[in-house]
Amino acid sequence: MDRTKGCQFFITVVCMVAVCGAIPIGDLLDRASQRSDKLHSLSTMLAQELETHFPPLGRILMPRPSTCHTSTLQGPTDKDQALQVSEHNLMSLVRSLLQSWADPLVLLSANANTLPHPSQTSIASKIQELLENSKSLGNGLDIVSGRMGPAAQVISILPYTGTTDFGSDKVSKLMNFQFLLSCFRRDSHKIDSFLKVLRCRSAQIRPEMC
């Protein structure tokens, strides 16, 4: 039975790759851009929801953005710089950022279920959406990068070295959760921006319109 299921899964994957291989890369990038836009919108909504009951002390103790685990990943800081980066390197950067969030997003999901916040249920649901959208985007980018060549498939994964224990008191738990989410929100904005630049360049739209 397991072997049969395994064969069915393999056939499904092969069919998906074959179908995607027939789709213009511009269309694939457009779909990826839509997914990344959803990812950033969700992280923004989550941040706003958390802000409604965030303790003042947590703002004082909040770590600086420079301590986010992906801060050492070098890349363009704005659209003009992104336009100067090769398409292969830009795709590599997008995939590196996304892959570096695989474990931290699972950590956020695990802690969302016990978050001391009135909107805990809603927050946990949105975090689950983040996980699903992130995985879906990652699968799509695997296919796109495969179409772009070896240079686009290079990934520099930055392991998460931050705290895995968010603490037992309310302030610590909310602060650590909010900080990790704020780091993801920042990176999801980069991912979305870079993919939009890639989409524009693929469609040969003038740089100032990207």
Is residue 11 in some structural domain?
Answer: no
Judge whether residue 181 has pLDDT over 60.
yes
> Is residue 182 within a helix (H) or strand (E), and if so which, with residue range?
helix 170-202
| 191 and 97 Cβ atoms separated by less than 8 Å | yes
Is residue 93 in some structural domain?
Answer: yes
Q: Give per-residue pLDDT as tens, 22-51.
A: 688 889 999 999 999 999 999 999 999 988
pLDDT value at position 19? 46
Judge whether residue 193 has pLDDT over 50.
yes
* Percentage of the chain modeled with pLDDT above 70: 86
pLDDT value at position 74? 84
For residue 96, the enclosing domain spans: 25-209
| 100 and 69 Cβ atoms separated by less than 8 Å | yes
Q: What is the CATH number of the domain that holds 106?
A: 1.20.1250.10
Q: Give per-residue pLDDT as tens, 113-161.
A: 999 999 999 999 999 999 999 999 999 999 999 998 888 898 988 899 8
Is residue 185 in some structural domain?
Answer: yes
DSSP codes joined into one string, 91-127: HHHHHHHHHTTHHHHHHHHHHHTT--STTHHHHHHHH
Distance CA 69, CA 67 (A): 6
Q: Quote the pTM value.
A: 0.84
- Per the structure, how many domains does the chain have? 1
Is residue 161 in some structural domain?
Answer: yes
Of the listed ranges 7-11, 92-96, 108-112, 177-181, the least confidently predicted one is: 7-11
Mapped onto helix, strand or coil, the DSSP state of residue 20 is: helix
pLDDT value at position 204? 75
Q: Work out the average pLDDT over 53-59.
A: 76
Is residue 17 in some structural domain?
Answer: no
Is residue 16 in some structural domain?
Answer: no
Distance CA 195, CA 210 (A): 10
Is residue 10 in some structural domain?
Answer: no
Q: Identify the band that residue 58 occupies on the pLDDT scale cut at 50, 70 and 90.
A: low
Q: Identify the band that residue 21 occupies on the pLDDT scale cut at 50, 70 and 90.
A: low
More confident call, 56 vs 167: 167
Contacts with 203 (C-beta within 8 Å, 6 or more apart), sequence order: 26
Is residue 132 in some structural domain?
Answer: yes
Distance CA 188, CA 38 (A): 10
Distance CA 147, CA 142 (A): 9
Mapped onto helix, strand or coil, the DSSP state of residue 153 is: helix
